[in-house]
Amino acid sequence: MSEVHQHDYAELLDFAYDLAERAAKLILDGATARWKQAEDEYEVKKNPVDLVTETDQAVEEFIKGAIAERYPEHKFIGEESSEGKAKPVLTDAYTWIVDPIDGTMNFIHANPNVGCSIGVTHNSRPVVGVIALPFLGRIYSAHEGGGAFMNRTIPLPLTGGIPQPLTQLSHCMIGAECASSHGWRDLMKGGSDRRPETIDVKLPNFRRLNGDPNKGISDGVMVHALRTTGATTINLAHVAAGELDMSWDAGCWAWDVTAAAIILKEAGAFLQGGKEEFARDAPIGEVLMCRRYVAVRAVAPSRTESAEEIQRRLSRELYAVVDEWTTPSML
């Protein structure tokens, strides 16, 4: 990467970070307004979907407008502005890929696992990423060649910036979503991701990962733990921070992973797509758009394997255990 581009990416990161801070305030203000509205029990209230939609749209409109003013030549892909349109296509142009609120169901239920994800791609690869967690007071950020940090100065992973050993799938804490919906509006209307075709694949995956082979689950792996946050962005941020060992999911979109992708890379973590993309080592631009993902935190090399060899082996071992599912919007 040239020094010119690195300087450009650093400038973009500063701007994206400022946007994330201001977007976080909008999200917090939106939550406060919702609770104030609920104070009068006699007031006719909007339903939760209307309330979160207002905040979602307001945050994206703010971010999109600020980018258009500062960088009018840049492209924009956002969750809200992409609703009901053709699937977005990634190009080599500077492109901002934004999820104003990831974890919308968490937002509705006052669960703090809510993230605002702002990523930038250039030449079909992620080069800048900022993830703000407004209710937790955390902002993760990175630009290509500049390292990854929490709250500007704390290096990732949070183990002092030092990758810790990890060599066995059974020793992993894995982030995975069981009852998620990556089209949350569909979920509120009846739950497209709760179909038997999806659940009947997901639940056996959890059984095998959790199961003790010495207690009657012959194909069990017995990983240390499974964790669900309700937000892909947050799962991936936890992997970058070293707070989860792995994460895997399907049905999420580019706006859920683009910012995380560069943060993961700069933190020494590993990201790839689904089984097919992983098997042929698909380029990162394709991975961003493929809607299936696996991530492994930064790890220390062993005597016999490099860090990347370990990360790839753990991904391969995970994919040997789990089956993939396909949501309606992926067809």
Name the catalytic one among 27, 63, 77, 101: 101
Q: Indicate the pLDDT class of residue 180, thresholds 50, 70 and 90.
A: low
Name the catalytic one among 56, 80, 102, 266: 102
User: Is 286 annotated in the active site?
Assistant: no
Identity (one letter) of the amino acid at 70? R
User: Is 102 annotated in the active site?
Assistant: yes
Identity (one letter) of the amino acid at 94? Y
Q: Please give the Cα distance from 318 to 133 (Å, whole number).
A: 28
Backbone φ and ψ of 59, nearest 5°: -65, -45
Name the catalytic one among 56, 80, 99, 266: 99
> Is 73 assigned to a binding site?
no
> Is 99 assigned to a binding site?
yes
Q: Indicate the pLDDT class of residue 194, thresholds 50, 70 and 90.
A: confident
Architecture of domain 169-330: 3-Layer(aba) Sandwich (3.40)
**How large is the average pLDDT for residues 206-234?**
96
- The SS3 of residue 46 is coil
> Is 256 assigned to a binding site?
yes
**How large is the average pLDDT for residues 284-296?**
98
The answer to whether residue 318 scores a pLDDT higher than 80 is yes
pLDDT at 52: 73
DSSP 215: G
Name the catalytic one among 27, 56, 60, 79: 79
- CB of 313 closer than 8 Å to CB of 304: no
pLDDT at 190: 43
User: Is 99 annotated in the active site?
Assistant: yes
User: Is 79 annotated in the active site?
Assistant: yes
The answer to whether residue 300 scores a pLDDT higher than 50 is yes
Task: Report the share of the chain in percent with pLDDT over 70.
Answer: 89
Name the catalytic one among 256, 263, 310, 327: 256
Name the catalytic one among 53, 55, 104, 121: 104
Largest pairwise CA distance in the chain: 68
pLDDT at 214: 95
**How large is the average pLDDT for residues 67-74?**
98
Query: By mean pLDDT, which of 52-56, 65-69, 122-126, 317-321 is the weakest?
Result: 52-56
pLDDT digits (tens, 9 = 90+) for 2-42: 555 766 999 999 999 999 999 999 999 999 987 776 555 43
User: Is 281 annotated in the active site?
Assistant: no
> Taking the domains of the chain in order of start, what are their residue ranges?
3-155, 169-330
The answer to whether residue 226 scores a pLDDT higher than 80 is yes
pLDDT at 34: 77
Domain 3-155 fold: Fructose-1,6-Bisphosphatase; Chain A, domain 1 (3.30.540)
Q: Please give the Cα distance from 193 to 187 (Å, whole number).
A: 7
pTM of the model: 0.94
What tokens does 223 get?
Answer: 């990983």
The answer to whether residue 184 scores a pLDDT higher than 60 is no
pLDDT digits (tens, 9 = 90+) for 89-135: 999 999 999 999 999 889 988 999 999 999 999 999 999 999 999 99
Q: Please give the Cα distance from 87 to 94 (Å, whole number).
A: 18
**How large is the average pLDDT for residues 38-55?**
61
Distance of CA 315 to the CA centre of its chain: 17
pLDDT at 45: 46
Q: What is the DSSP string of 96-140?
A: EEEEEEE-HHHHHTT-S--EEEEEEEETTEEEEEEEEETTTTEEE
Q: Indicate the pLDDT class of residue 46, thresholds 50, 70 and 90.
A: low
> Is 243 assigned to a binding site?
no
Count other C-beta atoms under 10 Å from residue 314's C-beta: 24
pLDDT at 150: 98
